[in-house]
Structure 1
């Protein structure tokens, strides 16, 4: 019996029902031993045509993926797109497509937006001279300038300060141009004429070549009549003015004949966004006031807002006090003295200026206070460093909770002059609160950071705790000198 041999490979199995007849003749083998049948003439023709068609299809290049066709707006030159955006001042314009974002994301657009948003040009009623208008147009290029209303400028500031590209460095970099704009509008635009040497000195100052900050000028169109007892003739003399520049902060114009001074801030701030007050992200994704740039930003906005004066004036800057209180809590938790001091100065000045009226009785109805939780937080996060508690006291000593056991225990643990003074303050707090309510400027322990020496508690604090004779207002003190950025290079 033969043993079957199994061969690996594919075995073709002919269907059992396949049959051959006259219509389907059996293929003729190609040789005597069989093999692949020969192709008929028609089969060869069909195969040749199929191969030709396949070769033709392969030789034809495959169509590449078509790029998205740009719209008519996106196809415009970059200069025209910039003009359209600066005319509309709509941030949603940049969010429409990537080509539009690329077209307007440039330093000169950022610069134009900052200058337009932070230049206060609403106080000018008369048109300036042709030379000043030409200089203003040159500074604001590529912007076709037209003054904005306060409402529009406030909205633009809010939009810009929320953008990631509006960093501290970009804002501070535009202060020299903002200062030049103020000088062109309020000095040259008012028709004041300078002597050639004075104008040359001012140009050298603006070019940071010479540190002369006081300049003289006259207004020929406005004259002052002086009477002479010897004759009846009147001599018409031009009025004299003095320009005093506090670099990057403000300019002051003094009218000599009337002894009237007018100060124009360089940075016209109308609002401080909540994210800056509560310690939100600024130049990075980090939360809080961990970046020194954030604190410097706040101090710059505080000075520009006019919160560095001892005289209270109705504020034009809007801010969120709940966001400010959250920022104070964050600064306490982070043990950030600079941020805490700046936020307390902003909070006290804005609240007192907003709620102080001519009538002392109405002012006494809304006393300035801090949340008691701030003092408890200062005790918990800095038990061995009373400085943070003392900073809160300088803002509002009457806000200390009188019967708080945690603060009482902490004051007893101090075992020094400050601990004893704090216990005495908490003991006499009810009558002190009532005295400060009637006349905060003179009867509060501290007012705008100044210690009222006529109060016994304030005198004890100065003598026993600080060891000084007096403590002035802290509003004029600054943790960041903006004018120090204006440096005149030395010529050896």
Structure 2
């Protein structure tokens, strides 16, 4: 049953009284609201609050500054600047500037950087005088080989050691070597006991007429211009005065394998080459002086390549590649028997992979040339080395045996690149790592069949089928430094030049073939 709606009535005094004392009922009134605050008690505006907080914070910081003890220099930092710099040069510890901001400020100077580079890359002969003023503000001392390698690794890891800085340092490095070469040549000629008369006997005879004016030893080691000409320290620009760019046109070479390249490798500021040429002096039975250009002497004696120089991260840039090429050239003219170039083979292959992923054929070419020069197995190692993978006993090495052969994974990575870039990359890899190719690899076979119209692909397919008869004599290989054997030139789709020639490196005087 529905109930009638309940009417809502106003509260009566009686109901109110039930909640209150009966005595309060007659005096019940509506109570006043909460009283308003005075203006001084109101919360200030947000902008005023921020100003007050800022003022409080500044006052607190000022009080803290007043109570904070002043920075006390350590015993090392308190030394005179000149003494602190000499300690740095004696230790050759490139991490020393990171010890404190004060030491970093004392040691952060271009003249100090230049002295470090000279210590790291100058190779003295141990007998001839050294121009010590070129090391200022450092006092020169001869660094042993172990410390030199450590110093090179440290210097190349410093932020200030850029390609531009190394190029600017090559003038000093070249002058250091030219001065020593001048003293060696002067001593050698004095030991020949050439008579003063007739004077014609003291005028050197040379086989190459173009070197006749350069052959006489300058009268003084202080004449820089004559030293540079005599020791062939600079790259002479072409007649038009324009130096050609670094690098090669791989596509043009592939189209015309016999084309000769006229490309200049990296040089320093003022066109200083990474080596000087040393002269050899002899006399005949008539006491007539004869001279020949003997060998190159490195002015940038590179013995170590840190990982970041080789890995090409995030990708290879022109400046990164040119720095590597410059250091490679310096290592080329280091005297043999003074230790191998130190670097990580795994990092070298990472750099190759980076070049392949970005289809940078020039970077891959430079790295393969470095691999050939540094990874060749010695005769003793060769005797203990197993035959190439997946080869039958009747087969042989088609390239020089290497202590660390080109990984097969690089070939697979090249196959994954779009055509025609994959063909150029594969051509380079085959010229250095043909012995790393198994005869039954599915990835390589698939790539060769898919691109059967390409000459490199057809060569690879025939090689894997075993249908090639290279006809090589005993002891000969198909590729040496990327160049085909003379018996097979013109038959296969590869440039008839070495990696060294293809890059455009200066190699005369290194004591090895290009």
Once residues 295 and 507 of structure 2 are traced to their aligned partners in structure 1, the CA distance between those partners, rounded to angstroms, is 21
What residue in structure 2 maps to residue 454 of structure 1?
487
Distance 1:388 1:118 in 2: 34
Superposed structure 1 runs of 4+ greater than 6 Å apart: 193-197, 362-366, 429-432, 480-483
State the secondary structure of the residue aligned to 1:305: helix
In structure 2, C-alpha distance between the alignment counterparts of 1:481 and 1:204, rounded to whole Å: 21
| SS of 2:328 mapped into structure 1 | helix
- Aligned counterpart, 1:83: 86
Contact 1:307 1:349 (C-alpha < 8 Å) held by counterparts: no
Q: Residue 15 of structure 1 corresponds to which residue in structure 2?
A: none
Tell me the distance in 1 between the aligned counterparts of 2:230 and 2:454: 50
d(CA) in 2 for partners of 1:332, 1:214? 37
For residue 203 of structure 1, the aligned residue among 202, 218, 224 is 224
Write out aligned runs for 1:384-463 (5 A). Answer: 384-385=420-421, 386-414=423-451, 415-428=453-466, 439=475, 442=476, 444-455=477-488, 459-461=490-492
The RMSD of aligned alpha carbons is: 3.9
Q: Is the 8 A contact 1:308 1:476 kept in 2?
A: no
Q: What's 1:277 paired with? A: 310
Distance 2:169 2:466 in 1: 51
The equivalent of 2:353 in structure 1 is: 329
My pick for the range that moved more, 412-421 or 2-11, is 2-11
Q: 1:200 to 1:277 in 2, by over 3 A?
A: closer
- Counterpart of 1:143 (choices 138, 144, 158) is 138
Structure 1 residue 340 displacement after superposition? 0.6
Question: Does the 8 Å CA contact 1:299/1:478 hold for their aligned counterparts?
Answer: no
On the 8 A contact 1:396/1:446 being kept in 2, the answer is no
Equivalent in the alignment of 1:303: 329
Q: CA deviation at 1:92?
A: 3.9
1:181-330 paired onto structure 2 within 5 Å: 181-188=176-183, 191=186, 199=220, 202-204=223-225, 247-257=272-282, 261-280=294-313, 287-289=314-316, 291-306=317-332, 316-330=340-354
- Alpha-carbon distance in 2 for matches of 1:482, 1:91: 32
Unpaired runs of 5+ residues, structure 2, are 1-26, 39-58, 190-214, 234-269, 284-290, 389-400, 509-514
- Contact 2:365–2:428 (Cα < 8 Å) also in 1: yes
In 1, are the aligned partners of 2:353 and 2:410 still within 8 Å (CA)?
yes
Q: TM-score, normalised by structure 2?
A: 0.63
Deviations 1:266-301 (A, max 9, x none): 111111122222224xxxxxx231x21111111112
1:383 and 2:419 equivalent?
yes
Q: Which moved more, 1:88-97 or 1:372-381?
A: 88-97
State how far apart, in whole Å, the 2-side matches of 1:380 and 1:7 are. Answer: 82
Q: Deviations over 1:381-408 (max 9, x none)?
A: 2333211110111213232232122222
Where does the alignment leave 5 or more consecutive residues of structure 1 unmatched? Answer: 12-57, 216-244, 281-286, 484-492
Length-normalised TM-score, structure 1? 0.65
Q: Does 1:99 align with 2:94?
A: no
Q: Name the counterpart of 1:16.
A: none
1:172 maps to what in 2? 167
Residues 78 and 180 (structure 1 numbering): CA distance in 2 closer, same or farther, change over 3 Å? Answer: same
Report if the CA contact (8 A) 2:182-2:217 is conserved.
Answer: no
Aligned residue number for residue 27 of structure 1: none
Answer 1 or 2: higher relative contact order, Cα 8 Å, separation at least 6. Answer: 2
- 1:344 alignment partner, SS class: helix
Instruction: Specify the alignment match of 1:119 in structure 2.
Output: 122
**8 A Cα contact 1:402 1:426, kept in partner:** yes
Deviations 1:332-358 (A, max 9, x none): 112111211111111112111xx2338
Describe the superposition over 1:117-139 as per-residue Cα deviations: whole angstroms up to 9, x where unpaired. Answer: 11112x32x353xxxx4xx1111
- Cα separation, 1, equivalents of 2:221 and 2:92: 37
Query: Distance in 2 between the 1:331 and 1:451 partners?
Result: 24
Contact 2:357 2:417 in 1 (8 A): yes
